Structure 1
Amino acid sequence: MENHDHSALINKLMECVAACEHCATACLQEDNVKDMAQCVKLDRDCADVCSQAARLLQRESEIAHQYLLLCEEICRMCSEECGKHEHDHCKKCAEACNTCAEACHAHHQPITQD
């Protein structure tokens, strides 16, 4: 397998992880936490998926570029949910997720089985 420099993509993934973790924590401090439940769920899922994607790229996993397809999907879902809220942390998270989704889109490959 060829050695590729994925540092820019990994940085975007980790920025997304940080934004999602911050957003989830901040959402739990909001007055009406129930209204933020879906946001927190997607933040946590997105952070986990992006973190795993970064690890797969770092170890040059054979499925890393296929996994980015899933990563793009959760980033878009999280961005859409965060975009529904007026909180600053949600707006920043939506932006980070959007940026990450675009980066994943530019690098993912279709899922194939041999």
Structure 2
Amino acid sequence: MPHSYNPYQGIPYEGDTHHHLLMSVQHCEATCEQMISMLVTNSQGFEAREQQIQLLRDCSDICTLMAKYLARGTNLSLALANTCAYICEICGTTCSQFPDYHSQHCAQTCLNFANECKALAG
């Protein structure tokens, strides 16, 4: 039976759904952070990737906040999910424009989590 949303009762999660989202957002955050480290360490072509690095930072930051909201079970997670989806989608799309394996992996991770956020937001 689907739950109806009640702002005074928090997020309408059942069982493993909350755990899965929390694991997904943490994976997205870690993937972005690893990608930033790799790009900053590899100085070759750094200037061409400045926009990608900024979007990776933005995506990592919104994922950190989303993870906190999900862990608390706050009803505001539903509102934040739209913003998180938007930022993750932009980051993933940008990463997908670079042919290297790490950028492609990061793109897929960000885009997958963006879809999960959209589903949460309804």
Q: Same fold (TM over 0.5)?
A: yes
Q: Which runs of 5+ in 1 are unaligned?
A: 110-114
Q: TM-score, normalised by structure 1?
A: 0.89
Q: TM-score, normalised by structure 2?
A: 0.84
Q: For 1:80 and 1:37, locate their aligned partners in 2 and report how far apart those are by CA, in whole Å.
A: 15
Task: Select which of 55, 70, 73 maps to 1:57.
Answer: 70
**Share of identical aligned residues, percent?**
26
CA RMSD of superposed structures (Å)? 1.4
Deviation, 1:30, is: 4.3
1:1-114 map, 5 Å: 1=9, 4=13, 5=15, 6-28=18-40, 29-109=42-122
Ranges of 4+ aligned residues in structure 1 off by more than 4 Å: none
Deviation, 1:62, is: 2.4
Q: For 1:91 and 1:10, locate their aligned partners in 2 and report how far apart those are by CA, in whole Å.
A: 22
Residue pair 1:22, 1:89 contacting (<8 A) in 2 also: no
User: C-alpha offsets along residues 40-72 of structure 1, whole Å, 9 cap, x if unaligned?
Assistant: 000011011011101101111221111000000
Residue pair 1:79, 1:98 contacting (<8 A) in 2 also: yes
Q: How many residues align?
A: 109
Q: Which runs of 5+ in 2 are unaligned?
A: 1-8
